[in-house]
Amino acid sequence: MLSQEDVNFIENSLSYEEKVSVIFLLYGHRNPQYALQILTVAGRAPETEETNFLIDWMSHVHRSESWEDELLEALTIMEQNLLLLRAGFDDEELRSKYFPRTAEIAFHVHSILKGLYHFCERLTDESAQKLVNQLQLSIGGNCALPKNECMEVVLLELICNGSIQLGLKQSGVECNLLMLTAACKAAELYDESELLKSIMSHYNRNVAHPSQEQSDATAKNTPKVDDVSNGVAPSERTSRKVQLACSPLESYTFDPTRAGIVLLINQFSFYRETNPELVELVPARPLKERKGTEVDKNALERLFTDLGYDLIVEENITHHQILQAVQHAVQRTQPIHCSLVVCLLSHGQEGKVFGSNSIPVEVRAIQQLMANERLTGKPKLLIVQACQGADLQSAVPIPIYEHDGLDGSEKTASVFMDFLVAWSTVPGFASIRHIEKGSWFIQELCAKLRLLYRSEHIMDILTAVINDVASKRGYGNECMVPIVQSTLSKRLYFHRQA
């Protein structure tokens, strides 16, 4: 537990700009007017003078069980890693708990405030001033926005005057960032405008509307006046309602008691095929053992078992056996099952993975096997931990990192309905795997799924995975970015929907 002494130490280790950010994140939805008053006092005080607004905030929310988590999450979002270390916290553990770089998702801090903080961080002094001028034009002369101030102060003013509405999920109140989004467009800040749209969309689609649900239930069996007067038959009205219900927000059926099949193919060791008909497909250099893949395999096994799946595990199988294993998994998937998942852990080229005999298999061929009529309408997930090329984003040797691939040229893409293909890296680049801790991609995927599956659907979870993997760095500043191709037509949650 954080003590009052700890909180006081944290507060007085922050610069004025950092205090602005933490006040914004903690007070922005509670009392933005009071936050502005605090900042006015803090701004006038000398940099060396101690403040106590966090102590006051701590006393104000102390009865809340999550106050400590909220403060720690706010500091993690602000990337106060050194300060958190000095306060006795493991900053890596906090980052894995809160994944601060994902702007759309927060656990204790109001998620719109987190998103707006990220928005502020992207602005240069020049673009911020340009935006403030545009906002001033939008709201008119009745309310003067502060100039030469941190952008969070400007946003607090907009929250106070109602130009920004943060929303409240529990009460079914949506957020509204439309004025800010429009001002960004007018100021030619198009990327920032898209970020705001993403934040607003993610928040609002998870807002409950109890009054609307009650209204819909009341109106369910009540004929519309227009329908009666126009002679629309009850069956036609029912059909119309069914069509309206089939919206993009619909979810796939998922029941943990019949989740489906997971095929996990784990390639650890490789030999060179000697069949004269295949030998020309063998790469020039021998494929190394994939040290660390056992860690990935174990993490995936635990995760999907906990989600309710039946596992089929194959290890060190040839290119032909890979295709046979996929075909077998498809046949094992029964009409009662909700989905099929195939995980491939191997060396790879662009669009291909290797069998244990060093012969490549096109991922497209695996997708074609999964696109079986018996799986029509069911989500089919293909997770590939393999390289799509040999290039690293830094030429510096990696002491305890390896990569899973060779050169390649052929590109593939999913063209089937209800498919999701998640590659550990974008085409042309190597996929980084720690020889003791496992691959960056699989470890983040398992961690985020375990953390978020009760509240988020797969595409939002993968967004968080991409964000966190892309922020990692190897010892030589190597980095990688996963890529997702999806033709999913509904949301996929790994729990039963109410």
Interhelix angle 178-186/151-160, rounded to 10 degrees, is 130
Contact 438, 422 (CB under 8 A): no
pLDDT at res. 457: 92
The residue-averaged pLDDT of 73-95 equals 86
pLDDT per residue over 195-249, tens digit each?
A: 898 888 888 887 765 444 444 444 444 444 333 333 444 444 444 333 433 344 6
How big is the CA angle at 118 (ends 175 and 482), to the nearest 5 degrees? 105
183: pLDDT strictly greater than 50? yes
Residue 473: phi and psi, rounded to 5, are -135, 140
The model's confidence at residue 468, banded by pLDDT at 50, 70 and 90, is confident
Contact 196, 151 (CB under 8 A): no
448: pLDDT strictly greater than 70? yes
pLDDT at res. 246: 39
pLDDT at res. 428: 65
- Nearest 10 degrees: Cα torsion 421, 422, 426, 429: -110
Q: Give the range with max mean pLDDT: 32-41, 75-84, 305-314, 425-434.
A: 305-314
Q: Give the active site residue among 387, 403, 434, 457.
A: 387
Q: Give the active site residue among 29, 110, 337, 347.
A: 347
pLDDT at res. 222: 41
pLDDT at res. 379: 94
The model's confidence at residue 141, banded by pLDDT at 50, 70 and 90, is low
The more confidently predicted of residues 48 and 396 is 48
Q: Which of 1-5, 113-117, 340-344, 443-447 shows the lowest per-residue confidence on average (mean pLDDT)?
A: 1-5
pLDDT at res. 208: 60
Nearest to 267 by CA among 352, 369, 169, 144: 352
Q: Which is it for the CA torsion 186, 192, 198, 199, positive or negative?
A: negative
Coil vs helix vs strand at 394: coil
Contact 172, 207 (CB under 8 A): yes
User: What CATH number labels 260-393+413-487?
Assistant: 3.40.50.1460
55: pLDDT strictly greater than 90? no
The residue-averaged pLDDT of 255-271 equals 95
Across 252-354, the runs of DSSP E, i.e. the strands, are: 260-266, 310-315, 339-345, 348-349, 352-354
Which residues, in sequence order, are CB contacts of 273 under 8 Å at separation 6+? 279, 281, 282, 318, 357, 358, 359
Q: Which of 47-51, 196-200, 253-257, 377-381 shows the lowest per-residue confidence on average (mean pLDDT)?
A: 47-51
CA distance 39 to 42: 5
DSSP sequence for 425-493 = S-TTB--EEETTTEEHHHHHHHHHHHHHTTT--HHHHHHHHHHHHHH---TTS-----EEEE---SB--
Q: Give the range with max mean pLDDT: 32-46, 160-174, 426-440.
A: 160-174
pLDDT at res. 306: 94
Residue 382: phi and psi, rounded to 5, are -120, 115
CA distance 13 to 373: 62
Across 249-350, the runs of DSSP E, i.e. the strands, are: 260-266, 310-315, 339-345, 348-349
pLDDT at res. 279: 87
Every domain range in the chain assigned CATH 3.40.50.1460? 260-393+413-487
328 among known catalytic residues: no
Which residues, in sequence order, are CB contacts of 416 under 8 Å at separation 6+? 367, 370, 371, 380, 487
387 among known catalytic residues: yes
The residue-averaged pLDDT of 250-260 equals 93
Across 159-259, the runs of DSSP E, i.e. the strands, are: none
